[in-house]
Copies of this chain bind each other. A is one copy, B any other.
Amino acid sequence: MEKVALAEAFDSFDEQWSPRLAGELNGQAVKLAKAEGEFVWHHHEDADELFLVVSGELTIELREDSDIVLQEGEFVIVPRGVEHRPVTDSEAEILLFEPSETRNTGNVESERTKTDLEQLD
C-alpha cells in the first residue's frame, strides 16, 4: 500500500491530455492529467466522470447547459451521456475519477484518443 503525493505525481510527467493511472479501487480509476487548450467534444455512454482541479483552471463546456468553470480545489461530476469538452487557456492539473475502462475521448475516435493508460512511475 503506497501513498500518492499529487504534486510529485504531476511533476513526474509532462505530456498533456494523456491521463496517468494513479490508483484503482472498486473497479474505478484515479487518473491524473495535464490539460491545455481544447479537448474534443465527447460523451461516455456508461460512465459518470469526476473532474477535480488540482492546479490551474478548467472549463467544462456542455452542449446543452452553461459552461462550468472549475478553479483549484473544485470538482464536478459529468453524468453519463452528457456531451462535454474540457477547455483551458493555460495548463491545468486535473484528477479524474471514473471507471477503469473509460476511454478519454468517450464515443469519439480522435488523435487525442489514448488506448493505453500509462501508470505513474
Contacts and interface: CB of A to CB of B under 8 A. Distances in A.
25 contacts: A1-B62, A3-B68, A3-B70, A4-B74, A4-B75, A4-B76, A5-B71, A5-B73, A5-B74, A23-B50, A23-B75, A23-B77, A24-B77, A25-B48, A25-B77, A25-B79, A25-B97, A25-B98, A26-B28, A26-B47, A28-B28, A28-B97, A30-B50, A54-B73, A97-B97
Interface of A: 1-7, 23-26, 28, 30, 47-50, 54, 62, 65, 68, 70-71, 73-79, 82, 97-99
Instruction: Report how many copies the assembly holds.
Output: 2
Question: What is the interface of chain A mostly: helix, strand, loop, or mixed?
Answer: strand
A82 B1 contact: yes
Contacts of A23: 50, 75, 77
B26 A48 contact: yes
